[in-house]
Amino acid sequence: MQQKPRKSLILLVNLGTPEAPTAAAVRRYLAEFLHDYRVVDLSRWLWCILLHFIILPVRSGRVAGNYRKIWLHDGSPLLVYSRNLAERLQHQMPNTQVRLAMRYGQPAIASVLAEFPDLDELTVLPLYPQYSATTTASVFDAVSAYYQKQERIPCIRFIADYYRSDAWLDAVEARIRNHWDLHGQAEKLLFSFHGIPQRFAERGDPYPQQCRHSAELIAGRLQLEPGQWQLTFQSRFGREPWLQPYTDKTLEALARGGLRTVDVVCPGFAVDCLETLEEISVENAHLFLQAGGRQLNYIGALNDEPGHVAALARVLESGTGRAHD
């Protein structure tokens, strides 16, 4: 008797995005995002008061304005590029289903998994090359929470990171070299990663070490000398210390020190989003010029480029990185 083919699913998961560049939509999104204890671990009674009565009313309108600067015809860049990436990966891997979910917002992880009640095998690939409890572990929490309520649980494979994947490193190197071929090479290459609170790292989150390892591997492939590149962290929030050096402060210091041109690449972001297209390309570029710099060139994320699709296919096929089965 012939066995039925096993039903399998590859679930790509990205952070999420508001449904529209409006204050109301941003407020709903930020409320879900900032309620995650993995992201903000303060006492709930204190944090909820701060969040709903101070932070959300003050920040939602301003953040919505920033989203309007980068919004595409088809929606948020993060959603558009992530959706295209999943669709193109499906063509690359026709023997299994490939779907996209968002940790916050839509399409939600639970709603996507609910479409596959008789699944045999599930592979979860968070679109974060470097592991952090604030991102990757939060995806694990959401997948686990869904299956805690189900009678049938598939064989689950969770890929925790892929920053050491040769395929991914090849794609990032090619992206940078292509930019240099088209636009020339600046005096320094800045690797800017999203930050996390310093105390998260002190209690064991391996994220900063993985970011540094990523930058070192890419710089080595590009044959850069130590003075030709630097690692920084962006997007800090609140008053407590975050991972340093800070991207914005570093750019200002470099400009005041006489640096005139700088390239910035963000290898922690699988696709372009608010933090790259607005924070780096607009806000930080303005700071660099104000401090005396001449030109900041942002080198875009891998997005839905063929090299990125091929790299993720190899990660999924080989389990490159720290795969947890």
CATH classification of the domain holding 108:
3.40.50.1400
What is the domain count for the chain? Answer: 2
Report, as an integer, the average pLDDT of 23-39. 97
Burial of 149 (0-12, 13-18, 19+ CB in 10 A): exposed
Residue 322 has pLDDT above 60, yes or no: no
Same domain, 158 and 20: yes
Report, as an integer, the average pLDDT of 267-290. 98
Same domain, 70 and 133: yes
Report, as an integer, the average pLDDT of 35-49. 92
0.85 surpassed by pTM: yes
At 2 the pLDDT is 56
Q: Tell me the C-alpha distance between 245 and 252, whole Å.
A: 12
Same domain, 219 and 260: yes
Q: Is residue 2 part of a domain?
A: no
Q: Tell me the C-alpha distance between 244 and 232, whole Å.
A: 6
Same domain, 16 and 151: yes
At 75 the pLDDT is 96
Q: What is the largest CA-CA distance in the chain?
A: 75
List pLDDT tens digits, range 87-116.
999 999 999 999 999 999 999 999 999 999
- b/e burial code for range 82-115 (CB count within 10 A of at least 16 → b): bbbbbebbbeebeeebbbbbbbbbeebbeebbee
Residue 4 has pLDDT above 90, yes or no: no
Report, as an integer, the average pLDDT of 299-313. 98
Task: Please report the sign of the dihedral spanned by the C-alpha atoms of residue 176, residue 178, residue 183, residue 187.
Answer: positive
Q: Give Cα 33 to chain centroid, integer Å.
A: 14
Q: Tell me the C-alpha distance between 26 and 29, whole Å.
A: 5
Same domain, 41 and 154: yes
Report, as an integer, the average pLDDT of 20-30. 98
Q: How confident is the model at residue 325 (pLDDT cuts 50, 70, 90)?
A: very low
Same domain, 228 and 88: no
Report, as an integer, the average pLDDT of 119-123. 97
Residue 67 has pLDDT above 70, yes or no: yes
Residue 323 has pLDDT above 70, yes or no: no
At 207 the pLDDT is 98
Domain residues for the domain of 74 are 8-162+307-324
Q: Give Cα 29 to chain centroid, integer Å.
A: 16
List pLDDT tens digits, range 142-169.
999 999 999 999 999 999 999 999 999 9
List pLDDT tens digits, range 225-266.
999 999 999 999 888 999 999 999 999 999 999 999 999 999
List pLDDT tens digits, range 162-184.
999 999 999 999 999 999 999 99
Residue 302 has pLDDT above 80, yes or no: yes
Q: Tell me the C-alpha distance between 12 and 17, whole Å.
A: 15
Structure token pair of residue 50: 């701060």
Same domain, 23 and 140: yes
At 101 the pLDDT is 98
> What are all long-range contacts of 142-150, with beta carbons under 8 Å and residues at least 24 apart?
142/103, 142/109, 142/110, 143/11, 143/109, 143/113, 145/110, 146/109, 146/110, 146/113, 146/114, 147/113, 150/117
Same domain, 274 and 320: no
Query: How close are the terminal C-alpha atoms of the chain, in Å?
Result: 29
